[in-house]
Amino acid sequence: DQIKVFSPATVANVSCGYDAMGFALETLGDDMIFTKTDSKGVIISKIEGADLPYDSDKNVAGAVAQLMLKDSKANFGLDIQIFKNFKPGSGLGSSAASASGAAFAVNQLLDKRYPDLELTKFAMQGEVVACGSAIADNVAAAIYGGFILVRSNEPLDIVNIPTPTNLIATIIHPQIEIKTEDARKVVPTQIDLKTAISQWSNVGGLISGLYSNNFDLIGRSLVDLVAEPNRKKLIPFFDEVKHAALKSGALGAGISGSGPSIFALSEGLETAKQVEYAIASVYKKSDIDFSTYVSQIS
């Protein structure tokens, strides 16, 4: 009657796919323990690694768990322990990890009542608690794994995209906090047709490159004309980091989710590590603290 889950960090948007694409990291994520209780209701008994609310209405994992217990008319309650290994406000899907970890774990305790699409819908309600918007890209990546495409929000349609085995992510997380809510305000609500055409052409190119293991095409398609030009001013040294990543062999680089983390994709672990070194050098020259990660996508 207890389950321990690992819930991955995720990179949303993947440059051209604003709110439509994401991928999950294999080695970075949160650990969570869910224990059934006789008394109904959800208690958050432990949170380590971040300053998050214990009130289960305001806690993302607590809110998702409550919703699922209610929907399934469960005859038990839950005690939740959360061990965060990466920070909220990092752009790495911290709230999504809590939300999707809760959706997945509660489903296990309910004898797998819900399919992944329904779990994604529950987890999206956690995103509403976190940032006010029911965004699917991070939570779908965490639940489905690998690369995903949010083909439609209403009705929700998630497509799993294959990941070339040798495609490795490098992440740098400068320790400044950007709230998703704020970062969404700088993205334009309207774009001109020319920009839209380029953007959806790049999404098509990226998906095609992922299917055909065409690393060059993946690299050419990692272009964002919608969010990145407006959001990059929120991230110190963004252009320098992107330039350093490309110069050291990355296929492409962009803002991870709503930032401030920056991701790069490379072919092979060796290149991904060179990219890590190069982008770390940019922040080392500044007084901004940062963490870096190199991870497979799964």
Tell me which residues touch ligand HSE (CB under 6 A). 12-13, 19, 135, 137-138, 180, 183-184, 227, 257-258
Nearer to ligand HSE, 84 or 274 (CB): 84
Cα distance between residue 130 and residue 107, in whole Å: 21
Residue 234 annotated as binding?
no
Nearer to ligand HSE, 248 or 254 (CB): 254
CB of 225 to ligand HSE, least distance (A): 14
Longest dimension (CA), the chain: 58
Residue 49 annotated as binding?
no
Cα distance between residue 74 and residue 60, in whole Å: 19
User: 219-243: buried (b, 16+ CB within 10 Å) or exposed (e) per residue?
Assistant: bebbbbbbbbeebbebbebbeebbe
Cα distance between residue 229 and residue 98, in whole Å: 29
> Can 127 be counted among the known catalytic residues?
yes
Residue nearest to ligand HSE (CB): 12
Phi, psi dihedral angles at 194 (to 5 degrees): -60, -45
Cα distance between residue 298 and residue 290, in whole Å: 24
Residue 194 annotated as binding?
no
Nearer to ligand HSE, 219 or 257 (CB): 257
Instruction: Identify the active-site residue in 10, 120, 180, 271.
Output: 180
Nearer to ligand HSE, 30 or 137 (CB): 137
Nearer to ligand HSE, 170 or 258 (CB): 258
Cα distance between residue 119 and residue 289, in whole Å: 35
CB of 91 to ligand HSE, least distance (A): 7
Cα distance between residue 280 and residue 240, in whole Å: 11
Q: How far apart are the first and last CA of the chain?
A: 27
Q: Of 269, 253, 187, 92, nearest to 282 (Cα)? A: 253
> Can 118 be counted among the known catalytic residues?
no
Residue 91 annotated as binding?
yes
CB of 280 to ligand HSE, least distance (A): 24
Residue 90 annotated as binding?
yes
Instruction: Identify the active-site residue in 10, 127, 267, 271.
Output: 127
Residue 92 annotated as binding?
yes
CB of 80 to ligand HSE, least distance (A): 22
CB of 22 to ligand HSE, least distance (A): 8
Cα distance between residue 132 and residue 124, in whole Å: 10
Q: What is the set of active-site residues?
A: 127, 180
Residues flagged as binding site: 87-97
Residues flagged as binding site for ATP: 87-97
